[in-house]
């Protein structure tokens, strides 16, 4: 067996197993197009009047389909019919199965992406931010050029996603509590993997429930559940208190729940999660700390309050492990949580090392034996 | 008693359909008549499944028989208690009534105990690849299925392609480790709250039956994740789950029998090398009275000898 390197390599390897004569039908074409693929099949048809080695040829053809950019379609079905006869041959059945199932799932994803996804990392970042922002219909995806800022060192692009709701959340955020720039996290867009960062605030404490009261915990649970239901579909629905009361009272018609005892429904947005309030997300060209600083500066234009809130740049996140960043040589390890670099934005960029570039703008994973 | 010896090139050529088996195990044998059902010489291991695990090792394989017996005896008191509880529930318990639109929790992922109800399997476990995965508590205290998917093929030459990681809930059992099934006939949707990484995962509802050809039955559907820091609510109608066996989509489709589900699995095998991460808050079922679809795929009869059952 030959070497198996990556995704493409696997096909390479499969081809090694194919007999040279069979491979020749496909390899003699410089240009890998659908026409060339059909010509290759035509070549086999002419050369092998008695269809010798047709099983091997079919396997080879299936392997070359991807390389020639051929997907099953009517024309292919017709070709199969011509070669293998009108009755249901195995290739014909395989084709029928593919044509039955593949179109069903082809465009099934709620977050459709071009196929293949663009190779340009800026275009990818735009797609990624649109996707992350799809949780809120009001999300605006903006592209900034850090070169416009005087203090920027990187001068790279920044794709930022923020909605009106998130701006309002920042506007009412207390200036005593810091907010965090965290990352990098991974997002996959088909085969491409992209690093992104988030702006997060600590969650607001849950409303206190009187444990002694009889039904109250259950009541709160039920109200949360109902809200969960109504928040589903990732869209915010407002719930009226009266409606909640209506839901509970059927449980115990003999007990009158005083109005003041009912908890007010928590009208929270999708961004206010139990593990943090998501205030914005971004991807930058270099994923460097400097580019993130530039991002916050750009956000300040629409969120003036950011100037008063302490912003902490963190390599750790309670939302989960961040991308193990490949630092350039002679680069110290990312600081631990205790050594977090607290920066008040109006305090300038002192101590920001331009070499602190985290090479995560686009992570291409090679298969690593785990 | 009918003794059936398997023969012939395919079950279709014998004129036997799956419905024979499903109907027998469904305690509704009246549908099927034995007329025209031929028996002939046995044909070796073509269809007969000898092993429920298809030859893959079980963790119990290496445990000495004596230890199994001892462990089994130790379980007796707790199993008896379980059995008593079951009967108490049966005789005096309320029957569960699904509330429209309010999901009922089936699996939580809040504690180590919740996670112990799941088994994580990767291709490397059976020397079929180099992927790795784990199910742990995430920093926010939810279930986190993460690992590294690797499509590198071992050079032994036994397999041609690989790369999967999967988590599967333990098969549901009653007291004394008897197999049981969930009864979700009143529900229409599978609901989850997850936070993924943009990858597509596969949901497997296992409906293993009594006979060997039903052992590997499952119903599958895709779990698309958005990616990003926000939690995502997933609500998938059961009607969308398609029928497959050993991960192979079947020509002849059946709607899932919701009183047969005994386990749920989540797998990743999207041929994308690299780390994956799926955080799970809960998995539940929900009833939506307005949802009418029974099965999302065609059920028409195919010409004979063309489709495998």
Domain ranges of chain A: 23-106, 121-204+270-313
- Considering the domain architecture, whether residues B91 and B240 belong to the same structural domain is answered as no
| Cα of A338 to nearest chain B Cα, Å | 17
**pLDDT computed for residue A236 by the predictor:** 39
Confidence band of A230 (pLDDT split at 50, 70, 90): low
Candidates B148, B157, B228; nearest CB to A132: B228
Instruction: Answer whether residue A18 shows pLDDT above 70.
Output: no
Mutate to test the interface with B, among A106, A169, A276, A368 (most CBs of B within 10 A): A368
> For residue range B93-114, what is the model confidence (pLDDT) as tens digits?
887 788 888 899 999 999 999 9
Listed residue (A257, A237, A238) closest to A247, CA to CA: A257
User: What average pLDDT does this structure show over A147-165?
Assistant: 90
Tell which wins on pLDDT, B17 or A305: A305
Mutate to test the interface with B, among A188, A218, A247 (most CBs of B within 10 A): A188
Exposed, middle or buried by CB within 10 Å (0-12, 13-18, 19+), for B175? middle
Query: Which residue's structure tokens are 């596969």?
Result: B202
Instruction: Answer whether residue A370 shows pLDDT above 70.
Output: no
Confidence band of A257 (pLDDT split at 50, 70, 90): low
Residue B5 lies in a domain: no
User: What average pLDDT does this structure show over B2-12?
Assistant: 36
Residues of chain A in contact with residue B200, where contact means CB-CB under 8 angstroms, are: 109
Return the percentage of chain A with pLDDT > 90, whole number: 29
Report yes or no: A82 at the B interface, CB cutoff 8 Å: no
Residue B234 lies in a domain: yes
**pLDDT computed for residue A209 by the predictor:** 52
- Considering the domain architecture, whether residues B224 and B209 belong to the same structural domain is answered as yes
Residues of chain B in contact with residue A7, where contact means CB-CB under 8 angstroms, are: 151, 271-273
Q: What's the rounded Cα separation, in Å, for the pair B61 and B57?
A: 7
Residue B126 lies in a domain: yes
Mutate to test the interface with B, among A193, A279, A367 (most CBs of B within 10 A): A367
Of A64-78, A142-156, A311-325, A356-370, the one with minimum mean pLDDT is A356-370
Q: Report, in angstroms and rounded to the nearest whole number, the Rg of chain A calculated over CA atoms.
A: 29
Instruction: Answer whether residue A324 shows pLDDT above 80.
Output: no
Residues of chain A in contact with residue B155, where contact means CB-CB under 8 angstroms, are: 1
Confidence band of A267 (pLDDT split at 50, 70, 90): low
Q: By the 8 A CB rule, do A141 and A133 touch?
A: yes
User: What average pLDDT does this structure show over A30-49?
Assistant: 87
- Considering the domain architecture, whether residues B243 and B146 belong to the same structural domain is answered as yes
User: Least CA distance to A107: which residue of chain B?
Assistant: B224
How many domains is chain B built from? 3
Return the percentage of chain A with pLDDT > 70, whole number: 64
**pLDDT computed for residue B120 by the predictor:** 96
Report yes or no: A221 at the B interface, CB cutoff 8 Å: no
Of A140-149, A315-324, B62-71, the one with minimum mean pLDDT is A315-324
Confidence band of A237 (pLDDT split at 50, 70, 90): very low
Candidates A4, A273, A368; nearest CB to B153: A4
Confidence band of B29 (pLDDT split at 50, 70, 90): very low
Instruction: Look at the alpha carbons of B16, B21, B22, B28 in this order and tell me if their dihedral is positive or negative.
Output: positive
**A232 and B275 in contact by Cβ < 8 A?**
no
Instruction: Answer whether residue A206 shows pLDDT above 80.
Output: no
Q: What's the rounded Cα separation, in Å, for the pair A294 and A288?
A: 10
- Considering the domain architecture, whether residues B35 and B70 belong to the same structural domain is answered as no
Kindly report the three-state secondary structure assignment for every residue of B244-259: EECCEECCCCCCCCCC
Residue B219 lies in a domain: yes
Of A189-198, A223-232, B215-224, the one with minimum mean pLDDT is A223-232
Of A182-186, A333-337, B262-266, B304-308, the one with minimum mean pLDDT is A333-337
> For residue range B150-162, what is the model confidence (pLDDT) as tens digits?
999 998 888 889 9
**pLDDT computed for residue A227 by the predictor:** 55
Report yes or no: A116 at the B interface, CB cutoff 8 Å: no
Report yes or no: A10 at the B interface, CB cutoff 8 Å: yes
Confidence band of A87 (pLDDT split at 50, 70, 90): confident
- Considering the domain architecture, whether residues B73 and B221 belong to the same structural domain is answered as no
Domain hosting B41: range is 12-47
Instruction: Answer whether residue A59 shows pLDDT above 50.
Output: yes
**pLDDT computed for residue A10 by the predictor:** 40
- Considering the domain architecture, whether residues B205 and B118 belong to the same structural domain is answered as yes
Average pLDDT, chain A: 73
Map residue A184 onto helix, strand or coil: strand
Report yes or no: A66 at the B interface, CB cutoff 8 Å: no
Q: What's the rounded Cα separation, in Å, for the pair B305 and B198?
A: 41
User: Least CA distance to B197: which residue of chain A?
Assistant: A187
User: Least CA distance to A200: which residue of chain B?
Assistant: B229
**B226 and A132 in contact by Cβ < 8 A?**
yes
User: Least CA distance to B143: which residue of chain A?
Assistant: A320
Q: What's the rounded Cα separation, in Å, for the pair B40 and B14?
A: 10
Report yes or no: A7 at the B interface, CB cutoff 8 Å: yes
Of A62-71, A247-256, A297-306, the one with minimum mean pLDDT is A247-256
**pLDDT computed for residue B72 by the predictor:** 92
Report yes or no: A270 at the B interface, CB cutoff 8 Å: yes
- Considering the domain architecture, whether residues B154 and B179 belong to the same structural domain is answered as yes
Interface TM-score (ipTM) > 0.85? no
- Considering the domain architecture, whether residues B145 and B247 belong to the same structural domain is answered as yes
Query: Which residue's structure tokens are 């659908």?
Result: A34
**pLDDT computed for residue A350 by the predictor:** 36
Residues of chain B in contact with residue A367, where contact means CB-CB under 8 angstroms, are: 130, 150-152, 273
**B155 and A1 in contact by Cβ < 8 A?**
yes
Candidates B161, B275, B303; nearest CB to A10: B161
Q: What's the rounded Cα separation, in Å, for the pair B112 and B137?
A: 7
User: Least CA distance to B132: which residue of chain A?
Assistant: A370
Candidates B140, B227, B274; nearest CB to A319: B140
Listed residue (B155, B151, B122) closest to A8, CA to CA: B151
Instruction: Answer whether residue A41 shows pLDDT above 90.
Output: no
Confidence band of A321 (pLDDT split at 50, 70, 90): low
Residue B20 lies in a domain: yes
Residue B185 lies in a domain: yes
Return the percentage of chain B with pLDDT > 90, whole number: 64
Query: Which residue's structure tokens are 């605006």?
Result: A140
- Considering the domain architecture, whether residues B120 and B247 belong to the same structural domain is answered as yes
- Considering the domain architecture, whether residues B73 and B213 belong to the same structural domain is answered as no
**pLDDT computed for residue B46 by the predictor:** 61
- Considering the domain architecture, whether residues B139 and B282 belong to the same structural domain is answered as yes
Residues of chain B in contact with residue A233, where contact means CB-CB under 8 angstroms, are: 233, 235
User: What average pLDDT does this structure show over A5-28?
Assistant: 59
- Considering the domain architecture, whether residues B178 and B263 belong to the same structural domain is answered as yes
> For residue range A340-365, what is the model confidence (pLDDT) as tens digits?
444 334 333 333 333 333 333 344 45
Residue B146 lies in a domain: yes
Q: What token pair was written down for A78?
A: 């017709």
User: What average pLDDT does this structure show over A45-69?
Assistant: 84
Query: Strand B248-249 relative to strand A179-189: parallel, antiparallel, unpaired?
Result: unpaired
| Cα of A150 to nearest chain B Cα, Å | 30
Confidence band of B124 (pLDDT split at 50, 70, 90): very high
Q: By the 8 A CB rule, do B42 and B5 touch?
A: yes
Instruction: Answer whether residue A84 shows pLDDT above 80.
Output: no
Query: Strand B132-137 relative to strand B189-195: parallel, antiparallel, unpaired?
Result: unpaired
């Amino acid at each position: 067996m030959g070497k198996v390197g990556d995704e493409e390599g696997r096909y390479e390897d499969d081809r090694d197993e194919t007999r040279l004569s069979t491979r020749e039908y496909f390899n003699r074409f410089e240009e890998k197009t659908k026409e060339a693929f059909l010509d290759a099949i035509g070549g086999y048809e002419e050369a092998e009047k008695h269809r010798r080695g047709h099983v091997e040829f079919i396997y080879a053809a299936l392997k070359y389909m991807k390389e020639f950019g051929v997907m099953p379609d009517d024309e292919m079905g017709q070709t199969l019919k011509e070669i293998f006869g009108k009755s249901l041959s195995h290739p014909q059945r395989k084709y029928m199965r593919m044509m039955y199932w593949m179109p069903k799932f082809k465009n099934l994803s709620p977050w459709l992406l071009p196929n293949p996804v663009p190779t340009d990392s800026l275009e990818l970042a735009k797609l990624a931010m649109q996707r992350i922002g799809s949780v809120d219909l009001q999300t605006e995806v903006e592209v900034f050029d850090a070169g416009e800022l005087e203090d920027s060192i990187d001068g790279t692009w920044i794709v930022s996603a923020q909605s009106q709701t998130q701006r309002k959340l920042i506007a009412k955020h207390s200036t005593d509590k810091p907010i965090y720039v965290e990352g990098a996290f991974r997002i996959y867009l088909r085969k491409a993997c992209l690093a992104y960062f988030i702006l997060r605030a600590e969650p607001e404490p849950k409303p206190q429930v009187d444990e002694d009261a009889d039904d109250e915990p259950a009541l709160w649970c039920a109200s949360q559940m109902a809200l969960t239901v109504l928040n589903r579909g990732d869209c915010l629905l407002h719930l009226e208190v009266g409606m909640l009361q209506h839901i509970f009272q059927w449980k115990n018609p003999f007990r009158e729940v005083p109005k003041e005892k009912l908890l007010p429904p928590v009208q929270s947005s999708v961004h206010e999660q139990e593990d943090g309030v998501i205030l914005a997300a971004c991807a930058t060209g270099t994923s460097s700390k400097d580019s993130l600083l530039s991002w916050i500066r750009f956000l300040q234009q629409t969120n003036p309050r950011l100037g008063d809130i302490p912003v902490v740049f963190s390599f750790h996140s309670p939302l989960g492990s961040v991308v193990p960043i490949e630092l350039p040589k002679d680069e110290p390890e990312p600081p631990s949580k205790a050594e977090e670099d607290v920066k008040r934005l109006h305090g300038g960029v002192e101590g920001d090392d331009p070499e602190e570039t985290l090479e995560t703008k686009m992570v291409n994973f090679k298969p690593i034996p785990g | 008693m009918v003794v059936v010896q398997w023969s012939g090139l395919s079950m279709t050529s014998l004129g036997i359909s799956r419905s024979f088996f499903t109907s027998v195990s469904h305690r509704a044998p009246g549908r099927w008549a034995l007329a025209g059902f031929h028996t002939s010489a046995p044909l070796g291991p073509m269809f007969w499944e000898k092993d429920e695990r298809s030859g893959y090792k079980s963790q119990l394989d290496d445990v000495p028989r004596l230890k199994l017996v001892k462990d089994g005896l130790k379980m007796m008191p707790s199993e008896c208690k379980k059995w008593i509880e079951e009967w108490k529930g049966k005789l005096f318990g309320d029957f569960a009534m699904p509330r429209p639109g309010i999901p009922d929790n089936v699996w939580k992922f809040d504690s180590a105990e919740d996670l112990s109800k799941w088994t994580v399997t990767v291709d490397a476990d059976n020397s079929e690849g180099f992927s790795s995965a784990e199910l742990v508590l995430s920093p926010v205290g939810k279930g986190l299925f993460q690992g590294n998917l690797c499509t590198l093929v071992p050079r032994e030459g036994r397999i041609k392609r690989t790369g999967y990681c999967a988590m599967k809930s333990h098969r549901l059992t009653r007291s004394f480790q008897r197999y049981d099934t969930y009864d979700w006939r009143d529900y229409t949707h599978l609901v989850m709250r997850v936070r993924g990484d943009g990858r597509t995962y596969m949901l497997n509802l296992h409906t293993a039956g009594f006979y060997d050809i039903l052992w590997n039955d499952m119903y599958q559907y895709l779990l698309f994740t958005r990616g990003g820091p926000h939690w995502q609510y997933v609500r998938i109608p059961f009607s969308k789950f398609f029928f497959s066996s050993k991960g192979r989509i079947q020509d002849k489709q059946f709607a899932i029998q919701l009183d047969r589900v005994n386990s749920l699995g989540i797998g990743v095998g999207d041929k994308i090398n690299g780390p994956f991460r799926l955080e799970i808050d809960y998995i539940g079922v929900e009833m939506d009275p307005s949802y009418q679809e029974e099965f999302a795929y065609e059920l028409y009869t195919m010409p004979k000898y063309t489709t495998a059952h």
